[in-house]
Structure formats: structure tokens, C-alpha cells
Amino acid sequence: MGQGSGRQERSKKLELATTETMQAEADIQSDKEETKETKTRDERLRLVFGMADLKNKAIGLYNIGQTCCLNSLLQVFLMNTHFTGILRRITVPSSTSQQRRSVPYQMLLLLEKMQSGKQKAVFPSDLACCLSAHRVKLFVQYDAAQLLLTLWNLVKSQVTNPELTEKLSDLYTIWVQEYMVCQECSFETKRNSSMITLPLSMLDSSSHLLRTLEECLHYFFCPEELTGHNMCFCEHCGKKTPFLQSMKLAHLPKTLILHLKRFCFRKSASIHKLCHTLRFPQVLDFSAVLTEEQCQADASEKASWQYELFAVVAHSGSTDYGHYCAYIWSLVECKWYCFDDSRVCQVLWDDVKCTYGHSDFHWGQTAYLLVYMKKNPR
């Protein structure tokens, strides 16, 4: 009886040892597969972004005096690996004085500074001084949409390589066709126009609140009657007449920036902030939002109008005093981060949705700029 019990015990120990060995081998195999998968993913990312952009980390920027707006916009630019890929190819200015005045070069230096050290935040002082040299005032409050346009114009005008200038335009420029039709003689004029942002009203012509991004986009491309003091001069009629003005979408860029016009004028001429809830999706299909009459594009162009949300620049506070921060999707890590000056933390989509706005919370965060990234074709 004792020998049988001993044999059973040794048999169980043998089975246990065999099981542990098999489990260890399985774990090693799993680790190898995981390592191989990680290497394959990194190689794939290098092909898309380049070796340097794999270092893109969520690093904060210190507020050096009312620079929350500038910091938020810089994060949106520098977390966009398509933009930094262009930035890394610029021609370095020859002299020290030219380097100090070059906005693209100073942005590149800031990017390298953010990626090279172990610090959680860096000072954007040199870039701020560079902007100051171009009459961009420091220590004042800015409107994010206006400052974005200022930064864009400075960067584009100072990139000397024509190929890179074209790439920048392709990355951010929206093209539309504007139509003007006289309502008395039907004389029509049209012209092509470009813009960096789509300025979307959050109120319709009757001052009713628009509640979704899709409603705002549809309203933006709806024809508008110009009557009364808005009438235009018609060359055929030889006088001011009512006109029908409309815009048709022709081309959308890789990076699409939408400006939610939360600041508007009241009848008393004072500026008022609209804080009501306006929902925006993570995935946006422009071809499904607009009608055929609102588009001037062929089938291949429309097929590329599939977008995913990349960043939200949010404003909190009133028209007189406020604060900006940015929620950005890391293209490398595939995670959402909140950039609030020097404070950076990982967040969830539910946190981003808190920027939809709420009429009862006037001081809460509300989305002001939405940045969408075109989906990569499969």
C-alpha cells in the first residue's frame, strides 16, 4: 500500500514537472511571437513615419506666460508625424541670426529637445522669441484659430524648398468652388478658393442651435441668399441685386482642421461664447454628410473622404479670460493624451467627449478646433 502510494506521488510530481516544462516552453514561444510581432509593427511604423518619428513621446511644454494657446497648437503640429516628416527635411539656415528667425527651424529644434531628453516638459522659450521677432505678441491671450493661421503662414513662407512647400499645402489645404448667381438676370460667376480651416457656425440663419458636427458641415455648404444691405453689384444689371451664394467642396487634405465658431456677436455687439453641447464623431465620412449638390469632386476624390479624429483643441473659461489644452491621439502609441501645458496624461475617449460642451457649465472645456486625419487606404 505504501509503495503504491509512493509510485502515485512520484507519478504526480512527474506530471506536474512535465506540465510546468510545457508551460515554460509555451511562454517562451509566446514571448518570441510577441517580440516578433512588436518588431514587425515597428518596421511597419518606420515605413510610414520614419525612424525618428517613432520617438514621438507625449512631452509637455511649460507655460512661459499666457502661452497655453501656443502650447496646445504646437502639440497638435508636433504630434502629427506627417508634419514632422516634412519638418525634418527643411534646409537649415546658414547663419545664426537666420536660424533664430526661422520658425520651421525653431520648431524642429523644439521637437528634437522634446524627444532627446528624459524630462516630462520643456520650455518653448527660443521658439517664442522667434515668433516675437515676427511681431507675434507674447504674454497676451490669443484666439486659437487666429494663432493657428499665423503659425501656418510663417511656417509655409519660410520653407524654402518648393517640394516641401507643396507637401505642406497638400497636408493642410482645403479647396472649394464659390458660386455667385444674380437673382434678377441669372448671371453666374465662380472661382476656386483655398483655406486652412473650415469655419463652422454653431447657429443656423434663424439663430437655432446646431447640435452635431454633421449639421454644422451641412449648413456651411448650404446656399445663402444675399439681400438688403448684403446685395452685390451685378455687371450685367449695372446695379446691386440680390445674389445666391454657395460653396461646393472640391478637395480635402490629409489633415483636416474644423473651427467651431463658439464666439459670436450678440445684438448688443458684445462677444458671447456658445457652450451648448455639440457632438462630433471619432470617424467622419464627408461623402455621407454632404449632398451631391454640395460637392464638386469626382468619385476617386470622394472615396478618400474618410477621416478619423486626431486632435481636439479645447477652450475653458469665458470670452474675457480662458485657458486652452489639447487632446491628441498618438499615431505611434495609438492612445489618447491630454496636453495641458507641462501636464500630460493618458486619457480615454470618454474624457475627450467631455469637450462636447454643456449649456449649464459655461466655464467647462468646450471643443474649439477639431483636427481629423484622413484614413490610410487599406
Query: Residue 128: its pLDDT value, please?
Result: 97
Active site residue 232: no
Bridge-based pairing state of the strands 197-201 and 263-265: unpaired
Q: How far apart are the first and last CA of the chain?
A: 69
Report how far residue 297's alpha carbon sits from residue 206's, in angstroms, rounded to the nearest whole number: 30
Q: How many residues does the chain have?
A: 378
| C-alpha to C-alpha distances, 5 to 2, 14, 48, nearest whole angstrom | 5, 14, 64
What single DSSP character describes residue 95?
Answer: S
Amino acid symbol at 179? Y
* Given 68, 69, 295, 325, the catalytic residue: 68
Query: Residue 264: its pLDDT value, please?
Result: 78
**Cβ within 8 Å of residue 14, ≥6 positions away:** none
Grid cell 516552453 is found at: 25
Quote the cell numbers at residue 88.
Answer: 525634418
* Given 182, 323, 325, 338, the catalytic residue: 323
Query: Residue 359: its pLDDT value, please?
Result: 75
Strand order of the β-sheet with 243-251 is 188-195, 174-182, 243-251, 224-226
- DSSP codes, 108-144: HHHHHHHHHS--SEE--HHHHHHHHHTT--SSS---H
Query: Residue 38: its pLDDT value, please?
Result: 45
Active site residue 68: yes
Report how far residue 347's alpha carbon sits from residue 202's, in angstroms, rounded to the nearest whole number: 27
Query: Residue 22: its pLDDT value, please?
Result: 52
Query: Residue 350: its pLDDT value, please?
Result: 96
Report how far residue 316's alpha carbon sits from residue 358's, in angstroms, rounded to the nearest whole number: 12
Query: Residue 45: its pLDDT value, please?
Result: 38
Tell me the HSE value of 63 on the side-chain side, using a 13 A CA sphere.
18
Report how far residue 61's alpha carbon sits from residue 111's, in angstroms, rounded to the nearest whole number: 11
Torsion of CA 362, 363, 365, 368, to 10 degrees: 60
Query: Residue 257: its pLDDT value, please?
Result: 98
290 SS3 class: coil
pTM given for the model: 0.83
- Candidates 138, 130, 127; CA nearest to 97 is 130
Query: Residue 272: its pLDDT value, please?
Result: 77
**Alpha helix (H) ranges present in 50-95?**
68-78, 81-87
Report how far residue 26's alpha carbon sits from residue 198's, in angstroms, rounded to the nearest whole number: 54
- Candidates 272, 148, 145; CA nearest to 203 is 272
Query: Residue 334: its pLDDT value, please?
Result: 93
Give pLDDT tens digits along the chain (378 positions): 444 444 444 444 445 444 544 554 555 455 455 445 545 544 543 444 444 455 567 899 999 999 999 999 999 999 999 999 999 999 999 999 999 999 999 999 999 999 887 889 999 999 999 999 999 998 898 999 999 999 999 999 999 999 999 999 999 999 999 999 999 999 898 999 999 999 999 999 888 999 999 999 999 999 989 989 989 999 899 999 999 999 999 999 999 999 999 987 666 557 778 999 999 999 999 989 998 889 988 888 988 999 999 999 999 988 778 999 999 999 999 999 999 999 999 999 999 999 999 877 767 899 999 999 999 754
Report how far residue 44's alpha carbon sits from residue 36's, in angstroms, rounded to the nearest whole number: 12
Quote the cell numbers at residue 200.
Answer: 463652422
Query: Residue 269: its pLDDT value, please?
Result: 59
